[in-house]
Structure 1
Amino acid sequence: MQKLSRREFAKKAAFAGGMLAGGPLHLFGERAPSYAEQHPDMLVSYLSGKLNALAGKWDRERDALRTARQLESRNRFVREKFREMVHGWPGKTPLAPIVVRTHERNGYRVENVMFQSRPNFWVTGNLYIPSGKGPFPGIISPCGHYPLARMEPEYQFAYINLVLNGFVVLAFDPVGQGERRQYWNPQTGETEVSSASTYEHSMPGQVLLLMGEDLTHYRIWDGMRAIDYLLTRPEVDKEKIGCAGHSGGATLTIFISSLDERVRCAAVNQGGTGHRWPIKALPGSRLGPSDVEQNIFPAAVFGIDVCDLLTAIAPRPLLLTIENYSSAFRRTADHLKARYALFDAAEKFGTEEANDPHSWTVKLRLSTTDWFSRWFSGRRGPDREPDLAPENPETLYCTPIGSVRYSQQGETIFSLILKNGVTVTPSRRVPASGAELGEFRNRLAGEIRELIRYRAPEGPLGARHIVTTPRKGYKVENVEFLTEPGIHIPAWVFVPEKRNSEPPTVFVHEAGKEVEGQEFGLLEQLAREGHQVIAVDVRGVGETAPRHSPGDRSGAFSHLFSVETAMVYMSWYMDEDLFGMRVRDVVRSVEYALSRPDVGAAGVRLVGKGAGALWALYAGALDPRVGTVVAHGGLVSYASLTRVDRYRQTAGVFVRDVLKHFDLPHVAAAIADRRLILSSTVGPMNERLDPAAVRQAYNWTVMAYRNAGAADRFQITESYKL
């Protein structure tokens, strides 16, 4: 009888104990209880539970506010943290305004104006100026998510209502709308990606997050510079500046007005005024995010919900409108009434319902004009809207053909990303020796842990054997184990009848283990060749994929608004990272593999496919127990996303601020001098790249391996046989 060492005995005992913790060992056919019964809707429940706990904490702190002084202190905190989260402000540069043309109308005139919110970054707009002697109160109006933006007829009517009642109105196009659209081709009238402007926001917005920036910053800064422009106009009363918008423009009105106290009065029309938290995500319910610039990270850590941004406007006059009153709207309204009462300014908060679908309707246009008339002019607004005729969009153009991009008038958001992407990542000296490589690995591992909010797995594995299924030449053990409380990892262990001497393979696929784990699949082929394979579903993938729908999103770029993106945003709200959580699951899977009594201590081979290639790359950089990493079909680099204006990579592989520190070739170099294979590497659109192009992108990694005397252990190939 073979004598076991103390280590081997402990390992076998721990493994058996973990199995027995879930019930007796079940063999062919009979199933044991699964963690899935305890963790329904696992990942969404996990994320929403943590978010809701934070929301409860901040609700209690808000409820403790009893005086105007306490509330003003809280408002200062909200403004300070909001500025931090949108990465502060650049220095002010010359506006260099241009009045392109002027249109005289009965009782007012319209100027087609442009100004630079930052060097050579043009904001297009229309300035409506009353006839007669000024100065007049001035109102900026950021536009909602309509492709035509300020040129939409209902928006034009809102501006005309205001100008006929004595207000100067500056209506401007936010990034991705009106004349600042990226994907609309004025020569064909076709839109290349989607007619919805939300795609114009989220596509660049997610890339900006990689770079330590955010699109919210650009959009708010445009609005603040619009105020600067108003203040240069002699027709404007500099003490009476307002802000009014609808839909996405109303959300932008909240952002601008809460941060810029030059706004003395605000009207928020149908601007997503409900509380974000607590989240009530019932199984099967819709779960999709708004476009990225409406999401502020990590707002939940500071307890900054929509209601807090609205409260930061107090005690300045604030009108809040909605399609129809609802319990969610009333909750926000009641919250704000109480806050305005603390300032002894209850009369400065008002609400109105349209009793109409989502639009800046005539009722809401009149309410908006009445609100500004009351607080800026001390009178009531009109009771009726006169018969109006909208201008043709072409009449309101600032550029020759209605497109900054196609008119080649300055920078676009994508051209700025391209320029900044060249310099955003600090240059690093390639480690010149094995000793320097060790120092680099340790340093980069620390940076990785910080950026992906990585916590090493701890606590018992709690392994459960669910059932074993025999197949030709091997069997499949269906098992589960825990990464942390509330998160379990389903796995299939392929156990060959005739095992070879190779280390076990941990396999992770972006779509789950079943993709390659069925009969006749890749994993069967490996098992019949004698390889032991442990295929795992990291959280939110495969068996634990959320059973939610993002709504009616479809098309090549619907990933921008997927359930996956919603979950990523949920993690970022808490200053956590879903990508890092999944890397943690992969490391836990390595731990599980090495805990098995049928596995030696010589380490594992880690294979990742698709997004799994990146999880494997990071896990390999963090866990020295991984002897070989095979990254198949992974993204070539984060930098590649800064050089394009569209991509099909999901938010699930994004890491906020990563390009301010490192890129994927640096992560790959941290695996040296262990074996690393990059196979079928892809570009931003998931297009397969030529190995020569990949080798060029990974030249830094090639040199690091070469200097470590391990050049033959790094391989770049079009395909690779496991």
Structure 2
Amino acid sequence: MFHRLRIYCFITFVALCPFIVRADNAVCKDLNSPREFPVINTQKEWQDRANVIRQQILVSAGLWPMPEKTPLHPKLFGRIECDGYSVEKVYLETYPGFYLAGNLYRPLGKAGPFPGILNPHGHWENGRLTDIKEGSIPARCINFAKQGMIAFSYDMVGYNDTHFPESPVTKEFYKIHRNFGTNDPANLLWNISLMGLQTWNSIRALDFLESLPEVDKHRLACTGESGGGTQTFILGAIDDRLAAQAPVVMVSHIMQGGCGCENMPGLRVQFSNMEIAAAAVPRPQIMVACTGDWTKTMLTLEGPAIQHIYDLFKAPDKLRYVRFDFNHNYNQTSREAVYQWFDRWLIDETDTPVTELAYTKESDEDLRVFPDGKLPSNAVSQSQLIQYLVSSHQSALDALTPRDKTGWKRYQNVMTPAWARTLQLNWPGAALNTEIKTVSKTANYTFQTVQIHRETESKPLELLHFIPSKAGAKGRQTLVLLVSPPGKSPYLDEAGSPVGIAQSLLEKNYHVAVLNNSPAIETRDQLSIFFNTYNRTYLQNRVGDIVAACQSLHSINLRQLRIILYGTGHAGLWSLLAAPAANGVVSDLDQLDVNSNQTLIAPELFCPGLRSMDSFTGPLILATPNPLLLHNLSPKFQISKVQSTYDALSAGKSFRAERKQLSEQEILDWFSRIDSSK
């Protein structure tokens, strides 16, 4: 049952993302691409990287900024008392009108407070109620309770009792499970996904467990298998309340997760499950693997790599990794390894084997929360939940709009990580390896070819830099980085000489730079979660190129150059998104309607999470009070938040917006004005 579902996921992935070469000839990664753990030499290196991993998870999950934690209104009923434990039915409102269901197992005949253990499940046919030789959620929950812990098992979305009112009750759980958020690609513009919803459910499940009066808030833990293992290390990476964790048969350098509930936009472009699991350092963790699946190299690869991080933090005893000779499982042998680990760190600090006690699972009827499929009367539909997520996120962004300098700094603190992680930038990033490859001179300028080498890219980024002969040797000078969808062709003739605006700027003694690279637009389905979890979209690559060019030019010129981005058409929008890396922007926006979802899911403009980082407005607010000229604006392009931010910082004169398209001379006049105001 379990394995058939996994194979189905792999087939689905191959159908959705069949291509392995990007438009710029770089390799396209997928969920099975081998990963290497990065070289980390100090605690600070890992702390910085772990912080970025946490940011990436939350941004990818649509949880940045963190949503309001509305009342859970927990309902507990149907209590059954058994030998050494009790079990109850539970449902919670993780969002208003969205119900997460599960079962709560508590010790009987013991005095608290008790450790609390979350138990997400994998893709078993019967979800949290599965009780077979290969895995049993009731078995571990009953045994946790008998050992003196409180255990809460809860559903994946679509399984058992956690679904929407319109979900068909006759369909297999897995088919209901993988339906959330897939009916409209525009949802990805808000980073609304199945994995994001399940990540939030795990956070709220921990809130519930922590709220129980007999639970010790300092002894919370989580364990799950396969997809539940993914939920375990994801929660461990973002929520420091976990005192211990036990991801089972999921931490691997190869297969990263075959279901949509284990993939969300941008999550693994720069990271792997190994690193995500290591983000919990130095909290206690046991990783359980087996010989019959993708975790088979745990003893020689994944385990030692993560152990190195624990060693850096002088906590070698807080990691254990084991492998058993089985296929994909959370069987008794695997469970007993976890019992021993949790007993050591959560109960009595010993480290001796724990044998699983005999148990009898209650009937499904006694454990099901909504056996007839009927939810509470206020339960929301899938579309209503999505509408709530969008509106609440928009409200949070509106509340952040700066009204003074203090508000602007708050906006920067919250939205800079959203900007960097949404666009998959190496920001602020390590120093780039920049080489000046060729130098030549004419009577009017010096020409340099600059190559920028990035660790994350196989091919260097090439920049053509023109330095006017009359450029002064002293004082800060201005460089205009010209960006266009075709690349250099609008700015250079066939012989490579500047023409048009490039020539005019040089004649006025501005440095001019042009990106030499002009990759073709992506031909694959960038909207597929199995693509954008592992790869940058076309827009993310282009914005990344612009940001890297700015970083490189600042580096080699010791920030003596003021860099102004000049973009047209789609590249005008790319320039807006790169604005925080530059010192100003001129953008011809070609009357593009960026309020339209159809515009934003086009291949050259698609970026998951774009709307949740305040769309094109967000980077411009971050770049305030740098000079900004927008022209050829669509009437639907909203500038009020940008204008109000410039006004709040007493920088209104640095911002200009025109609905008409400005002439070259008008743009040159603008450059002259900002130079005179330096």
Task: Provide TM-score, normalisation by structure 1.
Answer: 0.51
Q: Hey, what does 1:365 align to over in structure 2? A: 335
Matched, 1:421 2:394: yes
Matched, 1:662 2:635: no
1:501-555, Cα deviation, whole Å (9 max, x unpaired):
xxxxx9955xx89xx99xxxxxxxxxxxxx999xx99869429x79xxxxxxx98
**Which of 226, 231, 235 is the equivalent residue of 1:247?**
226
User: Do the aligned partners of 1:95 and 1:115 also contact (CA within 8 Å) in 2?
Assistant: yes
Unaligned runs of 5+ in 1: 1-38, 64-73, 280-285, 431-439, 465-479, 492-505, 518-530, 547-553, 572-576, 589-602, 679-693, 715-722
1:244-270, Cα deviation, whole Å (9 max, x unpaired):
222343344345557767655532212
User: Do the aligned partners of 1:100 and 1:114 also contact (CA within 8 Å) in 2?
Assistant: no
Q: Look up the equivalent residue of 1:227 and give its one-letter code.
A: L
- Once the two structures are TM-superposed, the CA of residue 171 in structure 1 deviates from its matched residue by 1.1
SS at match of 2:543: helix
Question: 1:397, 1:344 → 2: CA distance?
Answer: 45
1:619-667, Cα deviation, whole Å (9 max, x unpaired):
89999999883548764368999xxxx9999764655973199259999
Question: 1:629, 1:340 → 2: CA distance?
Answer: 51
Matched, 1:169 2:151: yes
Q: Hey, what does 1:580 align to over in structure 2? A: 543
1:452-506, Cα deviation, whole Å (9 max, x unpaired):
6699x99899699xxxxxxxxxxxxxxx975634656799xxxxxxxxxxxxxx9
Question: 1:176, 1:251 → 2: CA distance?
Answer: 17
Q: Relative to structure 1, is the Cα distance of residues 697 and 156 closer, same or farther in structure 2, using a 3 angstrom cutoff?
A: farther
Q: Relative to structure 1, is the Cα distance of residues 648 and 115 closer, same or farther in structure 2, using a 3 angstrom cutoff?
A: farther
SS at match of 1:566: coil
Unaligned runs of 5+ in 2: 1-23, 59-63, 421-426, 440-447, 464-481, 491-499, 503-513, 552-563, 645-651, 663-678
Question: 1:220, 1:118 → 2: CA distance?
Answer: 12
Q: Which has the larger radius of gyration?
A: 1
Matched, 1:320 2:299: no
User: Do the aligned partners of 1:614 and 1:631 also contact (CA within 8 Å) in 2?
Assistant: no
Q: Hey, what does 2:168 align to over in structure 1? A: 186
**Which of 520, 524, 529 is the equivalent residue of 1:542?**
520
Q: Hey, what does 2:636 align to over in structure 1? A: 695
Q: Hey, what does 1:99 align to over in structure 2? A: 76
Question: 1:648, 1:183 → 2: CA distance?
Answer: 34
- Once the two structures are TM-superposed, the CA of residue 671 in structure 1 deviates from its matched residue by 10
User: Do the aligned partners of 2:572 and 2:589 also contact (CA within 8 Å) in 1?
Assistant: yes
Number of residue pairs matched by the alignment:
542
Structure with higher RCO (Cα < 8 A, 6+ apart): 1
Q: Hey, what does 1:592 align to over in structure 2? A: none
Q: Look up the equivalent residue of 1:695 and give its one-letter code.
A: K
SS at match of 1:186: coil
Describe how 1:642-661 pairs up with structure 2 within 5 A. Answer: 652=607, 654=609, 658-659=613-614
- The CA RMSD measured in Å over matched residues stands at 7.2
Q: Look up the equivalent residue of 2:364 and give its one-letter code.
A: E
- Once the two structures are TM-superposed, the CA of residue 127 in structure 1 deviates from its matched residue by 1.0
User: Do the aligned partners of 2:587 and 2:630 also contact (CA within 8 Å) in 1?
Assistant: yes
Q: Hey, what does 2:118 align to over in structure 1? A: 140
User: Do the aligned partners of 1:538 and 1:582 also contact (CA within 8 Å) in 2?
Assistant: no
Q: Hey, what does 2:87 align to over in structure 1? A: 110
SS at match of 1:232: coil
Matched, 1:561 2:530: yes
User: Do the aligned partners of 1:257 and 1:266 also contact (CA within 8 Å) in 2?
Assistant: yes
The range that moved more, 94-103 or 288-297, is 288-297
User: Do the aligned partners of 2:620 and 2:642 also contact (CA within 8 Å) in 1?
Assistant: yes
SS at match of 2:38: helix
SS at match of 1:111: strand
Describe how 1:493-504 pairs up with structure 2 within 5 A. Answer: none
- Once the two structures are TM-superposed, the CA of residue 695 in structure 1 deviates from its matched residue by 3.3
SS at match of 1:417: helix
Q: Hey, what does 1:676 align to over in structure 2? A: 632
Describe how 1:299-698 pairs up with structure 2 within 5 A. Answer: 305-306=275-276, 308-314=278-284, 318=286, 320-323=288-291, 326-327=296-297, 329-334=299-304, 349-369=319-339, 371-372=341-342, 376=347, 380-382=353-355, 391=364, 396-398=368-370, 401=373, 407-408=379-380, 412=385, 415-425=388-398, 451=419, 484-485=452-453, 541-542=519-520, 557-558=527-528, 560-562=529-531, 565-568=533-536, 578=541, 580-583=543-546, 608=569, 614-615=573-574, 629=588, 631=590, 635-636=594-595, 652=607, 654=609, 658-659=613-614, 662=617, 675-676=631-632, 695=636
**Which of 274, 287, 292 is the equivalent residue of 2:264?**
292
The range that moved more, 102-111 or 167-176, is 102-111
User: Do the aligned partners of 1:579 and 1:653 also contact (CA within 8 Å) in 2?
Assistant: no
Question: 2:307, 2:416 → 1: CA distance?
Answer: 45
Q: Relative to structure 1, is the Cα distance of residues 699 and 162 closer, same or farther in structure 2, using a 3 angstrom cutoff?
A: closer
**Which of 139, 142, 154 is the equivalent residue of 1:160?**
139
Question: 2:582, 2:313 → 1: CA distance?
Answer: 55
User: Do the aligned partners of 2:229 and 2:249 also contact (CA within 8 Å) in 1?
Assistant: yes
SS at match of 1:695: coil
- Once the two structures are TM-superposed, the CA of residue 142 in structure 1 deviates from its matched residue by 2.9
Question: 2:159, 2:307 → 1: CA distance?
Answer: 34
Q: Hey, what does 2:38 align to over in structure 1? A: 55
Percent identical: 15
Question: 1:587, 1:339 → 2: CA distance?
Answer: 33
